[in-house]
A = this chain, B = another copy of it.
Amino acid sequence: MKSSAEQAAIEKRLKAAGVRPTAQRIALARFLLNGADHPTAEDVKKWADENFPKMSLATVYNTLALLVRAKLIKEVKLPHTSRVIYDDRVSAHYHFLDEKSGKIYDVDPSEVEVKPRLKKNASVRGVEVLLRGRWG
């Protein structure tokens, strides 16, 4: 997509989500929503250092938190690292960790059947699944 058209589209999405589209936010949202693949805050900062003049680490964290609150991205905490990962897939889904490459793949809930049969008075309001293995 042409860069300017992409920016306009992102700006629209930000506004629709109630986020004021500042230059920093448009740049980061563009990276996060078109192209980034499960980046950490560090990955995002690295991208910013290479593609946006003088963006502070605080802005990276502020914006990530803002986009999470706006439900444009999702925070993912996985046990193999202490870094938080950001996911542009915001609907409920699971994750697959490729143990060779360290890469994370999103897994649609339809691809993993999960059926809890717990004692009666336990009510399950959410399920998180991490699969580990070899993806490819």
Question: Which residues in A have some Cβ–Cβ distance to B below 8 Å?
Answer: 76-79, 82, 96, 99, 107, 111-118, 121-136
Contacts and interface: CB of A to CB of B under 8 A. Distances in A.
Contact of A118 (B82, B111, B124): B111
> How many monomers of this protein are in the complex?
2
A128 B78 CA distance: 10
Which applies to chain A's interface (DSSP): helix, strand, loop or mixed? Answer: strand
A51 to B, nearest CB: 30
A131 B124 contact: yes
Contacts of A78: 79
A116 to B, nearest CB: 5
A129 B126 contact: no
| 5 tightest Cβ-Cβ pairs between the two chains A and B | A77-B79, A126-B132, A125-B133, A113-B115, A128-B130
Nearest to A130: B128
A82 B79 contact: no
Nearest to A99: B125
